[in-house]
């Protein structure tokens, strides 16, 4: 049998390796920004065009590279941080695997310009698909500029799997924010399609958070600081009243590296237990400093997951530190949370004994006497009765006067009914029999979740949440498409605070939101004002609805094949539909059933899940066999 195993060509091996490192344009942004930080840059600029599909360029003022280093940087497993295997457990830098630039160059057009401070001229290298097209001397400022163009130009299948520009831009923004939050001592600037998105000057950690997420964030932050032999914690958590439905503002940094850890996230949730509602998520921006020898970073290609030696100890310290901060700044309730401060003893009366009032009662007082009361209660101490002690009583009319005239009426004949007439009821003829006019209960609700309705062949079991979603979805979609809806005007404008990125998403959907019934008055850099809402949308739910809408856009719910109107209708229906656990009256149950079967597609919810099931009489009979 002939040999069938063979070595892959270099360009194929590089493309396979690139699939692990470069998943989307945001992966390129992450690798290039981390390289710029390792180069000791003080100012880093990120330029993006068409959500990174056309251009991703990072310009820094770091130490730069020599001619030899510039050429070697694109070779696989070429790095300046690792000399031996033991160095993997002493890492304090970002890029160390030596695969980033080689993988990027295998699937894109790359232009590199770099110069060291002591050199008079720099080096320019152009690479297309791992092949060096040109290398020349160029005049360039100190530092490095890497431009990645036409990502996945030689792998069209990977390019087709990229999402819409909105979704890809959001991923790029997330990576930019993670790197910028971890390094507040560096100036970061980001441009997208020529427009400045972020301009973050060098600052402290709190100011960096405020610059990214808006000035309103400052009042939401609670500082967390703890220093132990195992772990050092610094950063901030959000106040419980500002908890959100999404997990957008949750950041863990271990040794200035962003990580994802469901285990540590559970520690934060445990610290906020009882302070936030179910389904809400607290915000946190926490930096954890540990010994590099106690963690393993090289377990995931994107280096966002870290293996800890002793996770249980970190969990306990983190949970206790957050609870301590919430209690220290009076965020968590105290033990005597029912105490009313208005009932506290004033300082002037502290230590004094209270004197009991003594009241003398006039036992000769008779309220049925005609004469006015001559004596009044006298108290030895000032009491409630003392306010009436000097009041002059006026004689009241005799109680017998209330019955004057009744005697003459009683003398009337009690047996004279000659003038008595009775009002007869109108006799009406019923159009239907009594059995037909009697209203019968046609629907029943079970566990405040399912609605039962009888049909000729058996019964229907309807999921009230999914059914109402379908009803609202078709109603909103009709109004948005036809562009004819009615809004209810608010007495006072409703002002909501969002980050700049969230406001950009709302601005993109503004037209469809207005067709759905929202009326916007003004868009500010960090907030917006609403003066009109769709009918049946409560004012208290507006913030939740918009947060859910933003979350759907960020988490790739919209696809390229669906319109923004469809996305908006789904998000509004999901937010406003009656939830499981809500009690429905008989009229509401019947209205829900009738509205569901008046829809074009009553069988499924907007997310293609069944809204009801049928159980025939035969199926019920089989249950008793």
Q: What is the pLDDT of residue 378?
A: 47
pLDDT value of residue 203: 92
Closest CA relative to residue 240, chosen from 292, 197, 291, 276: 276
Cβ atoms 441, 582 nearer than 8 A:
no
CB distance 496 to 545 below 8 Å: no
Q: Where do runs of H (alpha helix) occur along 343-463? A: 406-410, 434-437
- What is the per-residue pLDDT for 61? 93
Dihedral over Cα of 83, 88, 93, 95: its sign: positive
Which of 132, 135, 120, 134 lies closest to 64 in space, CA to CA? 120
Distances in whole angstroms, Cα of residue 604 to Cα of each of 148, 155, 279, 468, 624: 45, 38, 25, 11, 30
Query: Which CATH fold would you assign to the domain 446-614?
Result: Ribosomal Protein S8; Chain: A, domain 1 (3.30.1370)
Helices marked H in 432-563 — which ranges?
434-437, 464-482, 500-508, 510-516, 542-554
Identify the pLDDT of residue 387.
46
* pLDDT recorded at residue 470: 92
Q: What's the predicted TM-score (pTM) here?
A: 0.67
Domain boundaries, the chain: 10-200, 208-328, 446-614
For 10-200, CATH gives 3.30.565.10
**Model confidence pLDDT, tens digit, residues 440-478:** 677 888 888 999 888 888 888 999 999 999 999 888 888
The CATH architecture assigned to 208-328 reads 2-Layer Sandwich (3.30)
Q: Is 45 helix (H, G, I), strand (E, B) or coil?
A: strand
pLDDT digits (tens, 9 = 90+) for 405-443: 655 544 554 555 555 555 555 555 544 444 444 456 778
Residues of the chain with pLDDT under 50: 96, 372-392, 409-410, 413, 430-438, 558-561
Q: What is the pLDDT of residue 491?
A: 86
């Amino acid at each position: 049998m002939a040999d069938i195993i063979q070595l892959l060509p270099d360009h194929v091996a590089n493309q396979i390796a690139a699939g692990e490192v470069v998943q989307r344009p945001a992966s390129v942004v992450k690798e290039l920004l981390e390289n710029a930080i390792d180069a000791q840059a003080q100012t880093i600029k990120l330029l993006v065009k068409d959500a990174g599909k056309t251009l991703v360029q990072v310009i820094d003022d770091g130490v730069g590279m020599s001619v030899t280093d510039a050429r070697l940087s694109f070779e696989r497993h070429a790095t300046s941080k690792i000399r031996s295997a033991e160095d993997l457990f002493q890492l304090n830098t970002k890029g160390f695997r030596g695969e980033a630039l080689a993988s990027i160059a295998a699937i894109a057009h790359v232009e590199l310009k770099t110069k060291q401070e002591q050199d008079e001229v720099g080096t320019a290298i152009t690479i297309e698909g791992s092949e060096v097209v040109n290398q020349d001397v160029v005049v360039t400022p100190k530092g490095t500029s890497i431009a990645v163009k036409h990502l996945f130009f030689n792998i069209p299948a990977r390019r087709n799997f990229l999402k819409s520009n909105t979704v890809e831009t959001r991923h790029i923004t997330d990576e930019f924010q993670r790197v910028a939050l971890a390094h507040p001592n560096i100036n970061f600037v980001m441009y997208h399609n020529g427009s400045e998105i972020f301009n973050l000057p060098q600052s402290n950690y709190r100011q960096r958070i405020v610059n990214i997420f808006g000035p309103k964030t400052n009042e939401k932050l609670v500082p967390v600081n703890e220093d132990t032999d195992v772990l050092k914690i610094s950063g901030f958590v959000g106040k419980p009243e500002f908890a959100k439905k999404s997990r957008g503002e949750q950041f863990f940094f271990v040794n200035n590296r962003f990580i994802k850890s469901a285990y540590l996230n559970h520690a934060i949730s445990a610290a906020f237990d009882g302070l936030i509602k179910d389904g809400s998520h607290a915000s946190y921006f926490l930096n954890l400093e540990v010994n590099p020898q106690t963690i393993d970073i090289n377990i995931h290609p994107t280096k966002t997951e870290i293996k800890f030696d002793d996770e249980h100890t970190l969990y306990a310290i983190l949970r206790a530190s957050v609870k301590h901060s919430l209690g220290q700044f009076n965020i968590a309730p105290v033990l005597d949370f029912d105490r009313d401060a208005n009932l506290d003893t004033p300082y002037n009366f502290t230590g004094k004994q209270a004197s009991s009032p003594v009241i003398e009662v006039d036992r000769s007082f008779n309220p049925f006497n005609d004469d006015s009361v001559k004596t009044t209660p006298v108290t030895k101490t000032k009491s409630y009765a003392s306010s009436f002690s000097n009041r002059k009583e006026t004689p009241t009319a005799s109680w017998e006067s209330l019955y004057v005239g009744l005697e003459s009426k009683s003398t009337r004949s009690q047996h004279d009914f000659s003038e008595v007439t009775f009002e007869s009821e109108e006799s009406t003829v019923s159009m239907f029999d009594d059995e037909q006019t009697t209203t019968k209960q046609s629907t029943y609700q079970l566990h405040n979740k399912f609605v039962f309705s009888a049909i000729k062949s058996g019964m229907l079991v309807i999921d009230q949440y999914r059914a109402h979603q379908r009803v609202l979805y078709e109603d909103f979609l009709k109004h948005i498409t036809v562009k004819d809806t009615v809004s209810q005007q608010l007495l006072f404008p409703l002002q909501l605070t969002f980050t700049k990125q969230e406001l950009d998403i709302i601005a993109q959907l503004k037209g469809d939101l207005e067709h759905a019934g929202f009326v916007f008055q003004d868009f500010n850099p960090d907030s917006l004002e609403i003066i009109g809402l769709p009918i049946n949308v409560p004012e208290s739910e507006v913030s939740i609805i918009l947060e859910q809408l933003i979350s759907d856009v960020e988490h790739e719910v919209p696809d390229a094949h669906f319109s923004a109107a469809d996305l908006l209708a789904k998000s509004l229906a999901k937010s406003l539909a009656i939830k499981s656990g809500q009690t429905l009256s008989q009229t509401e149950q019947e209205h829900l059933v009738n509205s569901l079967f008046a829809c074009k597609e009553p069988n499924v919810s907007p997310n293609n899940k069944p809204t009801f099931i049928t159980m025939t009489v035969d199926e019920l009979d089989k249950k008793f066999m």
